Amino acid sequence: MTSQLDNIIWNCLSGPHAGFASGSGDVRRYARGFSPIVGCREPQRPDFDTLATLCDVGESFYLDQWTGAAPNGWRIEKEARMVKMIWDGPAPADDAAPDAITLRPEHYGQALDLAKLTNPGPFGPRTPELGEYFGYFATSGGDGLIAMAGERMCAGELHEISGICTHPDFQGKGLARRLTLKLVRRQLDRGKQPFLHVMTHNAPARALYEKMGFRNYLETAVRVVQKI
């Protein structure tokens, strides 16, 4: 099961999320409006020629595992290390966030604003369409999204928890942790295996996820590349 996690982006975009993807052959990208992520059948050999036909000059994408030199027409904007973590703890006994609000289309603009502010990873205005998203708001009327977590990639029994973030003014209250555990419980109840991505340098988040019940599965290179 976890072998699908080795190349989860490709397995997702060529499988369950094919309807949200653009491209064919050995390279796929999430369609415009979703997270700017590319999946390749062979991650160390991206088909940049085909990818170039799927995007515009100036567009940037996340590529997992690739470590080669940038070909003509492309540049590497950022480079880091990322860890795939998989749930290895017991099922949470209770819903950790029973008071969380389900995010609906009228909330997606606030979700995008929060993601831009906190940078939980690649996020687009349509990303919440990919799964369940829950959040906390500053007011009971649904104004001022202050924390959220949701679902993104999936393949086989694997299902990603993503977009985990909290507004800086409301950190330290355990909101993102509660939302994450809520999703873990819901996924396990559906027979799914929760996993997530976290940057290697984000030691506090990694420590929190480990304490919650996630374990390290695989560390890879991750790059942001731009068509020029």
Give the confidence band of 140 by pLDDT, cuts at 50, 70, 90. confident
CATH assignment of 85-219? Answer: 3.40.630.30
Q: What value does the mean pLDDT take over residues 190-201?
A: 97
Q: What value does the mean pLDDT take over residues 37-48?
A: 96
CA–CA dist 29, 160 (Å, integer) = 17
Statement: residue 104 has pLDDT above 80: yes
Task: Check if the beta carbon of residue 205 is closer than 8 Å to that of residue 198.
Answer: yes
Statement: residue 1 has pLDDT above 60: no
25: Cβ contacts below 8 Å, ≥ 6 apart: 47, 50
Give the confidence band of 150 by pLDDT, cuts at 50, 70, 90. very high
Give the confidence band of 101 by pLDDT, cuts at 50, 70, 90. very high
Mean pLDDT computed over every residue of the chain: 96
Report pLDDT for 2.
Answer: 63
Amino acid at 69: A
* Strands, E assignment, the chain: 21-22, 27-30, 37-40, 60-64, 74-87, 101-102, 133-137, 145-155, 158-166, 193-199, 214-227
Q: What value does the mean pLDDT take over residues 194-211?
A: 96
Q: Is residue 191 classed as helix, strand or coil in its secondary structure?
A: coil
* pLDDT tens-place string over residues 47-88: 999 999 999 999 999 999 999 999 999 999 999 999 999 999
Report pLDDT for 13.
Answer: 98
Q: Is residue 192 classed as helix, strand or coil in its secondary structure?
A: coil
Q: What value does the mean pLDDT take over residues 166-189?
A: 97
Distance of CA 19 to the CA centre of its chain: 17
Statement: residue 102 has pLDDT above 70: yes
Give the confidence band of 141 by pLDDT, cuts at 50, 70, 90. low
The ranges assigned to domains in the chain are 2-81, 85-219
Statement: residue 143 has pLDDT above 60: yes
Instruction: Give the global pTM.
Output: 0.94
